[in-house]
């Protein structure tokens, strides 16, 4: 089961991308953007403090699930819902419209939240990037020419083994290097192995970083 969760960050056109998802969930203010981009969600969830009256009217025939709990974000509410309802059926969860240059704290919260839901196959989908929290072995096939950045994301992180990349980074203590920026994939089959701990993996969709 493939699920798309739409947030209240900076929106962009995603209708074609999410056509093959089995379930589309808009979280609170994300439903407002759905009108502009002609997307009809299957479910709208959140505390609804950002919902516009027009949105309520346009999506009056959509299922609404109001949750007032202020200890969880609207995205967490959506993730908790799908975990409880779909469990092992979930094969992919894509998080859209979560990034915001105006609210960098919200963007960072999404990244840290992914570590708390590590058991779910989450991908933070930005307009020009995909981001995942990874551990163990991660295959990156058919991405030749794209650039990758890697950041430690847990205290027990150990140096990764990177195959199929332009540079094999030196993460030794003497080098004091703890991250890798814009490392280019040069083989059709590439992979990263994190022996211990977790890392934040960011893949640029276009092959080079764009402003």
Domain assignment present for residue 210? The answer is no
Closest CA to 180 of 208, 205, 160: 160
Amino acid 95: pLDDT: 98
Q: CATH number for the domain including 45?
A: 3.40.50.10240
Burial class for 46, CB neighbours closer than 10 Å (0-12, 13-18, 19+): buried
Amino acid 5: pLDDT: 98
pLDDT, average across residues 111-130: 95
Q: Are residues 166 and 183 in the same domain?
A: yes
pLDDT for residue 150 is more than 90:
yes
pLDDT, average across residues 148-167: 91
Q: Are residues 109 and 89 in the same domain?
A: yes
Amino acid 100: pLDDT: 78
Buried b (16+ CB within 10 A) or exposed e, 103-128: eeebbeebbebbeebeeeebbbbbee
pLDDT for residue 83 is more than 60:
yes
Taking only the tens place, the pLDDT of each residue in 189-207 is 999 999 999 999 999 986 4
- Domain range enclosing 190: 133-204
Q: Are residues 31 and 121 in the same domain?
A: yes
Buried b (16+ CB within 10 A) or exposed e, 3-37: bbbbbbbbbeebeeebeebebbbbbbbbbbbbeee
Its pTM stands at 0.91
Q: How many domains does the chain have?
A: 2
Q: Are residues 13 and 76 in the same domain?
A: yes
Q: How confident is the model at residue 211 (pLDDT cuts 50, 70, 90)?
A: very low
The DSSP output letter for 155 is T
Domain assignment present for residue 211? The answer is no
Query: What three-state secondary structure class fits 105?
Result: helix
pLDDT for residue 49 is more than 70:
yes
Q: Which of 127, 157, 179 is the last residue of a domain?
A: 127
Q: Are residues 86 and 148 in the same domain?
A: no
Taking only the tens place, the pLDDT of each residue in 55-82 is 999 999 999 999 988 899 999 999 999 9
E strands, 22-175, are: 23-27, 43-46, 63-66, 92-96, 122-125, 129-141, 147-152, 161-163
């Amino acid at each position: 089961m493939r699920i798309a969760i739409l947030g209240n960050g900076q929106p962009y056109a995603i209708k074609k991308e999410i056509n093959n998802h089995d379930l589309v969930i808009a979280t609170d203010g994300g439903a407002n953007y759905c009108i502009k981009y002609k997307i009809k969600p299957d479910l709208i969830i959140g505390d609804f403090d950002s919902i516009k009256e027009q949105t309520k009217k346009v999506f009056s025939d959509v299922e609404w699930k109001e949750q007032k709990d202020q200890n969880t974000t609207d995205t967490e509410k959506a993730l908790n819902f799908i975990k409880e309802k779909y469990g092992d059926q979930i094969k992919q969860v894509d998080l859209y419209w979560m990034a915001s240059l105006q609210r960098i704290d919200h963007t960072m919260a999404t990244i840290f939240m992914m570590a708390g839901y590590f058991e779910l196959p989450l991908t933070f989908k930005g307009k020009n990037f995909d981001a995942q929290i990874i551990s163990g072995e991660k295959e990156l096939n058919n991405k030749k020419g794209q650039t990758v950045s890697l950041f430690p994301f847990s205290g027990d992180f150990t140096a990764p083994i990177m195959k199929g990349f332009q540079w094999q980074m030196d993460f030794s203590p003497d080098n004091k290097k703890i991250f890798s920026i814009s490392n280019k994939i040069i083989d059709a089959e590439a992979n990263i192995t994190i022996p211990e701990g977790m890392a934040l993996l960011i893949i640029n969709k276009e092959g080079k970083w764009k402003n």
